[in-house]
Amino acid sequence: MSEEPSDLPEAAHRRLNEGSFSSGLSVSDFAACLDMGLEPVGLVQGFCAMRWGAVSMSGMGGGVGGGLGGGLGAALGGALTPFAGAPGGYVQNYQCPHGMVSAEHRAWGQNYQQIWIEDAWRTGFNSAYSRMMHEAQALGAHGVVGVLDSENPLSDTGVVEFHLRGTAVRLVDASAPSESPWSTFLAGQRLAKVFEAGYAPVSIVTAVASVRVWAYCVTEYLMEGTGGVWSTSPAAAEIVQIVDAQSTVREAVRARVRSSLHGDSLHGAHLEVSTREFAKGDLELQSRLSGNRVRRFKDFDPVALPRATVRLS
Amino acid sequence: MSTSASARTNLREEVRRALTAPSAPADRSNSTTSDLSIDEELNLHSIGWEPVELVSGVSLHSIPYGYWNWGQGEIVAASSAHATALAHAKARLVREAAAAGGHGVVGVHIERAIHPTHVEVSLVGTAVRPADLNVRRQRDVFASDLSARDFTMLMVAGWEPLGLATGASFVFAPRRSMSTALQQQSQNVELTNFTEAMYSAREAAMQRMQDMALEMHGTGVVAVTVQEGPMSFASHAVGFVALGTVVRLATPTHQLIHPTMVVSLNDATVAFDAQTLG
């Protein structure tokens, strides 16, 4: 996670320096943190409101076509050339096997990675994250536990608000931190187990990947179940274009997260994939992967075989 | 009391040690990713296994238009699309696991969606392997929907998972004749066409799952889940899907596990759950 210069408001500085702490921890999490020698110093938060457009043609840099949406794209499907792809992004073209061009026939199809959406998302999330971490730093915290994050649309203005919050904690009887604070989605007993297992939290990790699908004729027919009307196409088959897009959007987000681990491990990963249909045959697949980046600081202690129990209550 | 105080001191020392450890790992190429909890990783570690990589497999398969509404017997196109989509998704999942050096995949989350003209299957799980890298893989990479905890218990009992077995069948419930429909309109009677269709779907699906288990040389299927019922988009079609993990004995005999009786003093509510800010 990148961190930018602090833009903590003056009022927040004053409030944070007043001497009492706030915390988002439950009483049990609070007790577990004290047991670990971590004392809460403040509830820290970061916000970022980002303008959010599904398509940014200026960012595409190539031809038009895939991003045009259903109506116009369908009408001109045979005439336009495929998008060349954003630099460094995945792009794959699919050519009609039927050898015909008409206004209705989708003579080509394309999957492409929407790098500009991934970048916009990362900017919004990282800004909110950095602001939360700056608050923690201002409090002299060693880390932030129990991080929660959300992204919500602000009315219908195409603006998305990123909101991160967590509890800044300080290691009891330790000198002031010399490095940036660490962060984790975990708190309480679960965090204690991470330490006991020989891992130290490094940071939360979250990434998004986005792939747009502009279906070509074969995909369109297979999705509609009409593949068999063409003698060259099977009546039922795997829908390869969508499978390629689904596989890529999952692999891209995992690659992005892996590249941010630098030899550490990702624990408690959560992978979500959503599909949004803008128009017939015009889809966006978005994947999001979150987890805790942890670093091994000692080898596993020997663990006895688990003992089966039967609960009597 | 002294034990508790000493445990607390140890934990505090561990935390202090962790947070003052060197700031970069020695081997920067050795990252692992997993969706397992720390409890599950400890479970795996207790039997000498470790997580390697988060892996996934996806497939979509089409179903020709019009098969759901009229016909007799099994809707073969739908059953076959479901089987193919699951087989392809599974193949991709284990291929990723094998590429990452995994011997198997545990805790596979299975998402299935059946639409009128296509079936979608998505599998996500964590590839695992023995922590001793000298242990060579003896057989095909397995995929299992058992949690890491259940996988551990299975291994402790002397069994091993072989793979996911599935069986699905979609059957057309024949339409009643006009006279039968009119006669039954004011009666509380069993609609045998639906009951028989459900039995037919059940038998075919269970048979397919069992056939798959036998193909893998398994002795049984554990943690079988079934989903059955009418299809929301087709008034005369019913479906039955069975899914579980194929297992076989890996040791000469089953290892008896004697559970310990415990009286839990936990509250009914979940403790230590960082959801208080939500």
ipTM comes to 0.85
Q: What is the DSSP string of A22-79?
A: -----HHHHHHHHHTTEEEEEEEEEEEEEE--S--GGGT-S-SSGGG-HHHHHHHTTT
Average pLDDT over residues B238-243: 96
Domain ranges, residue A251? 64-117+207-296
Domain ranges, residue B167? 30-249
Residue A136 has which token pair? 């923690």
Query: What residue of A is the nearest CA neighbor of B57?
Result: A247
Question: Which of the two residues, A21 and A257, has the higher pLDDT score?
Answer: A257
Q: Residue B2: inside a domain, yes or no?
A: no
Q: What is the DSSP string of B147-213?
A: -HHHHHHHHHTTEEEEEEEEEEEEEE-PPPPHHHHHHHTTS----HHHHHHHHHHHHHHHHHHHHHH
The helix or strand, by DSSP H or E, that contains position A82, with its residue range, turns out to be none
Question: Which of the two residues, B171 and A78, has the higher pLDDT score?
Answer: B171
Query: What residue of A is the nearest CA neighbor of B152?
Result: A306
Q: What is the DSSP string of B88-153?
A: HHHHHHHHHHHHTT-SEEEEEEEEEEE-SSEEEEEEEEEEEEESSTTPPP-SPPEE--S-HHHHHH
Determine, for residues B122 and A200 on separate chains, whether the beta-carbon distance falls below 8 Å. Answer: no
Q: Residue B173: inside a domain, yes or no?
A: yes
pLDDT of residue A22: 74
pLDDT of residue A2: 43
Q: Residue B184: inside a domain, yes or no?
A: yes
pLDDT of residue B27: 67
Q: Closest by alpha carbon to A230, among A108, A71, A70, A105?
A: A105
Domain count, chain B: 1
Determine, for residues A257 and B33 on separate chains, whether the beta-carbon distance falls below 8 Å. Answer: yes
Least confident of B52-66, B67-81, B82-96, B145-159: B67-81
* Residue carrying the six token digits 């829908």: A239
Q: Residue A90: inside a domain, yes or no?
A: yes
Determine, for residues A24 and B261 on separate chains, whether the beta-carbon distance falls below 8 Å. Answer: no
Q: Residue A222: inside a domain, yes or no?
A: yes
> In the predicted model, is pLDDT for residue A5 greater than 60?
no
B273 contacts A26 by C-beta, under 8 angstroms: yes
What residues of chain A lie within 8 A of the CB of B56, using their CB? 247, 250, 271
A75 φ/ψ angles, rounded to the nearest 5 degrees: -65, -35
Q: Which of A189, A197, A246 sits opposite B41 (nearest CB)?
A: A197
Q: Residue B278: inside a domain, yes or no?
A: no
Question: Which of the two residues, B67 and A141, has the higher pLDDT score?
Answer: A141
pLDDT of residue A79: 45
Query: Residues B84-118: pLDDT tens digits?
Result: 999 999 999 999 999 999 999 999 999 999 999 99
pLDDT of residue B186: 84
Q: Which residues contact A123 (CB under 8 A, 6 or more apart)?
A: A48, A50
CB distance from A229 to chain B under 8 Å? no
Question: Which of the two residues, A84 and A3, has the higher pLDDT score?
Answer: A84
Determine, for residues A28 and B39 on separate chains, whether the beta-carbon distance falls below 8 Å. Answer: no
Using the CB atoms, write b or e for B171-185: b if 16+ within 10 Å. Answer: bbbeebeeeeeeeee
What residues of chain A lie within 8 A of the CB of B259, using their CB? 307-310
Q: Residue B190: inside a domain, yes or no?
A: yes
A contact residues 200-219, partner B, Cβ 8 Å cutoff: 200
Question: Which of the two residues, B25 and A133, has the higher pLDDT score?
Answer: A133
> In the predicted model, is pLDDT for residue A74 greater than 60?
no
Determine, for residues B272 and A28 on separate chains, whether the beta-carbon distance falls below 8 Å. Answer: yes
Query: Residues A88-130: pLDDT tens digits?
Result: 789 999 988 887 767 778 888 999 999 999 999 999 999 999 9
Q: Residue B277: inside a domain, yes or no?
A: no
State the nearest Cα–Cα gap between B181 and chain A, in angstroms. 31
Q: How far is CA B97 from CA A70, A176, A193, B90, in A?
A: 38, 43, 27, 11
Note the Cα A102 to chain centre separation in Å: 40
- DSSP H helical ranges for A177-235: 188-196, 217-224
Query: Residues B121-179: pLDDT tens digits?
Result: 999 999 999 998 888 877 899 999 999 999 999 999 999 999 999 999 999 988 888 88
Q: Closest by alpha carbon to A137, among A297, A281, A12, A269?
A: A12
A contact residues 239-278, partner B, Cβ 8 Å cutoff: 239, 242-243, 246-247, 250, 254, 257-258, 261-271, 273
Q: Residue B25: inside a domain, yes or no?
A: no
Query: What residue of B is the nearest CA neighbor of A34?
Result: B12
Query: Residues A14-51: pLDDT tens digits?
Result: 776 666 677 778 888 888 888 999 999 999 999 999 88
The helix or strand, by DSSP H or E, that contains position B86, with its residue range, turns out to be helix B76-99
Question: Which of the two residues, B272 and B258, has the higher pLDDT score?
Answer: B258
pLDDT of residue B147: 96
- DSSP H helical ranges for A155-230: 188-196, 217-224
Give the span between the Cα atoms of A143 and A140, in whole angstroms: 9
In which band, very low, low, confident or very high, does the pLDDT at B5 lie, cut at 50, 70 and 90? low
Q: Residue A213: inside a domain, yes or no?
A: yes
Domain count, chain A: 1
Q: Which of A247, A308, A310 sits opposite B92 (nearest CB)?
A: A247
State the nearest Cα–Cα gap between B156 and chain A, in angstroms. 8
Q: Residue B13: inside a domain, yes or no?
A: no
How many beta-carbon pairs under 8 angstroms link A with B? 238
CB distance from A301 to chain B under 8 Å? no
- Rg of chain B's alpha carbons, rounded to an integer? 24
For residue B193, the domain's CATH number is 3.30.110.70
